[in-house]
Chain A
Amino acid sequence: MARTLEWRTRTGVDTDHGRAATVEFDHVSKVYGPVSARARRAGSPPAPGAVNDLSLAIPAGAICVLVGPSGCGKTTSLKMVNRLIEPTSGRILLGGIDAATRELTDLRRGIGYVIQQTGLFPHQTIVENVGTVPRLLGWPAARIKERSEELLGLVGLDPAKYAGRFPSQLSGGERQRVGVARALAADPPIMLMDEPFGAVDPIVRERLQDEFLRLQEDIAKTILFVTHDIDEAIKMGDLVAVFQQGGRVAQFGTPTELLASPASDFVARFVGADRGLKRLSLSRVRDISLQPAVIGRLGEPAGEARRRALADPLPYLLLVDGLERPVGWLRDIEIDGDGVLTEAMAIPMSPLLSPETTLKDALSMMLDADVHTGIVVDRTGRVSGLVTTESIGGFLRETAVGATPAPEQDAP
């Protein structure tokens, strides 16, 4: 048994235990209670949690976030994947195989499951909790222990310190990490996460989100992630499905599509009036074209530099050192005609941005520093160009082109 599993895990060709599998909802509905024809005709609202003709295709290795107000059917949809709830009609295909045809416990052991309250077993130690599914699968004890400790390390908990503790001895954030480790134990190709970070405070939540995104770069699972928080959806999702009352999907697409062109008033309201700002948090400095900077080097003759600066519309010259690292700004008309450029002449710096900085952070840093320009530097600290508030505005306008059904509120 163990040998087979190991083989499966390594090759990743099996749908049970491999790297990732596709998830496809094919016209899936869930109707609660005896729905009489009369109730339908009377137009009574569907019961909370109902799902209406859901079709989604999620590629292997993607995080798909199901987001929407409470009672919209997002959790129901999630639980239909591991068949905690059976669909009334339609099919759910996991790696191309209909979930309904799989043996129930077998199916579930091949899907990682993380819930908001973590569902850690209070009477078992952390290492026992993490080893739950491998134990159900009958792995040998030594391998379970090895795997559990490996996973604890992966989620940032020192096994030597945490393995023997009980859940009640951990903080909320630590418990959530254990919850994630437990779901990953048998290396399932699919993970279901039901508001996994909903029970911790905002600061811890943000850290867990970041860590999880980093982890996902390595493990590359197919993840269905339920939340009611649109910001979390936009941050975590490669794809986002916005649910609305009655268990319908109002829009399914990438976060950028959602923010740039909401498909309906409902989606526009749900993503919020600040969706322009939210789009900024999705794009990074490397995504926009940088403005060239007029550069002067330390020790360079000042007159020449002044001429170059005056020829450019930007009234400033960027002073750099011998390694092309920024030193400060010089106002073009204040540069003396003679002598050389020295550090003492420079006025305070603009914020330094890396290509990885989000546009939202970049804008915020510029506003904080009360300037219109940020200096983009590469890994070694060399100047690669400038970002201005105008170039950020231009980027927003560009990416929203031809995609704005809602009234003009989107214009900057």
Chain B
Amino acid sequence: MIDWGWVGDHLGAILGRTVQHLELAAIAVAVGFAISFGLGLLAISYRRTYPLFSGIAGILYTIPSLAVFAALVSVTGLSIYTAEIPLIAYTLVILVRSIVAGFDSVPRDVLEAADGMGYNRRERFRRIVLPLSVPLMVAGLRLASVSSIGLVTISATLGASFGGLGFFIFEGYHREFPTEILVGAVPSIVLAIVVDIAFVRVQRRLTPWAQEQEVRRDTWEGLPSGPSVGF
């Protein structure tokens, strides 16, 4: 069923696509995190902005990524933006929620203790709020990264210069060549799982005070209504 000869001949292309896959996902998560952090600060400073954002995110989340990629072609042409804008947009849905949830997860008594000891607002944020919101932020990053890796495969609908490993899935399908489909599908699954596990490790290392239990569960409980984007 699998044409190993074809696989052997295309090792270079597979490697190249893997690198492209990671690149597209990494840019999306990095830019998305920067924007989300800003939006998160805005949300905790001006509480009224948050429901608005949640509402928009909720609707964005019902729009199939397939359509978003297609719709952008008429706006941005076939550039890197066409691929990245949707990827970044979907990471925002996840990251803003997890960042705000992280800020909100700091117990009130801890904040009061900090105020009582004379922290000013800036110090309190940097020394107390930020470190304590790391677990939920990393949980959000984990979800956003895994989701982006999935979405990158769909950007292959934009053409041969995008899609990372998803390119092989599409080309294999059009050529009715199962080996190529699998060459796209299996590594992209492996990539997603490896990144997922890597983040669990990072979560544990960054938050020695959190119990194993929390690390495992906060990914869903911190984002109770923040489902992962369909990918």
Complex contact flag A–B (Cβ < 8 Å): no
State the B residues within 8 Å of A (CB): none
